[in-house]
Amino acid sequence: MTSTFRCEEEFLQSCCSGSGSAVSLPSDSTHNSERDHLQTSYTNLTKERDQLQTSNNNLTKERDSLHTGVKKSSCRAAAVVLGLLCLLLLTGLITLVCLFSKGNSERDQLQTSYTNLTKERDQLQTSYTNLTKERDQLQTRVEYILNYFQKIIQELGWVYFYHSFYYTSSNRTSWQQSRADCLQRGGDLIVINSKEEQDFAIQFQRCTWIGLTDGEAEGIWKWVDGTALNTSYWLNGEPNDLEREDCAEIALFDKETSWNDQSCIVDNFWICEKMMAP
């Protein structure tokens, strides 16, 4: 405003001191009107500035508020995430503890079972060892008793072979008398059931009666225990029933086929058999 007034005064001075011609000056009312107008504009600008300043302050506050809110939200979100992570960590830790405890429990059970099995195995091993000792002792005792009785029966004229005892006579007599002697001794004339028994019988190298006869029915040979003849060891051409031969004897000793049918009244040695068990 001051510069404006200065320009107006300079303008007035230049006009008066110049050509001296007459110039028309603005009136005071016009000048006041412009000044009022300027004053009003200035006031309005001031108000607008103040409003802008207020708005700026408000925006600044809102920004700060929002910034604070954002910070709070970020902190809250971070706290939530951190809480979730802690929860997951705690859950995992609890799971690990449970698994570890369960593993320890199963391990302890297995250890207990293993210990019990080891004890049972040791007990069984001890029992087995004791039973083995008892078995060996019994075996030794049985062998001793068998040897003892074998000596006794040998003194009585008996020998043991494959579950039977055998007696061979030292004199000769008929088939019937031979059988009567065997029965009186608790046995009977030998019944040859196997090749081994046949081989055993011929080793005595004597003509001996055996417990085989066809006296009940000619040609139908039976053993004295009532069983039929299945496997036989007849000499070639025997039995021939020459002169009513109804009793069997061992006639040869150097070959497996050694039997002959003979008259029962002929005197022969004989072999008795007594089985250990029927």
Where do contacts with Ca ion occur on this chain (CB under 5 A)? Answer: 191, 193, 214, 238, 240-242, 245-246, 260-261
Cβ closest to Ca ion, residue 50 vs residue 256: 256
* Secondary structure (3-state) at 192: coil
Cβ closest to Ca ion, residue 202 vs residue 238: 238
For residue 190, the minimal CB distance to Ca ion (Å) is: 6
Cβ contact 185:179 at 8 Å? no
For residue 139, the minimal CB distance to Ca ion (Å) is: 26
Distances (CA, A) of 157 to 93, 98, 240, 258, 272: 93, 85, 34, 24, 10
Cβ contact 222:230 at 8 Å? no
Cβ closest to Ca ion, residue 137 vs residue 240: 240
- Report the candidate in 207, 204, 253, 261 with the shortest Cα–Cα distance to residue 232: 261
Spatial distance between the Cα atoms of 258 and 237, rounded to a whole number of angstroms: 11
Spatial distance between the Cα atoms of 9 and 200, rounded to a whole number of angstroms: 178
For residue 137, the minimal CB distance to Ca ion (Å) is: 33
For residue 267, the minimal CB distance to Ca ion (Å) is: 16
Cβ closest to Ca ion, residue 157 vs residue 215: 215
Residues in Cβ contact with 249 at an 8 Å cutoff, skipping those fewer than 6 apart: 207, 208, 209, 210, 259, 260, 261, 262, 266, 268
Which residue's Cβ has the minimum distance to Ca ion?
241
Cβ closest to Ca ion, residue 15 vs residue 176: 176
- Report the candidate in 242, 239, 168 with the shortest Cα–Cα distance to residue 208: 168
Cβ closest to Ca ion, residue 109 vs residue 203: 203
Based on the number of CB atoms within 10 Å of its own CB, is 181 exposed (0-12), middle (13-18) or buried (19 or more)?
middle
Spatial distance between the Cα atoms of 246 and 213, rounded to a whole number of angstroms: 5
Cβ closest to Ca ion, residue 15 vs residue 159: 159
Half-sphere exposure of 67 (CA within 13 A, CB side): 6
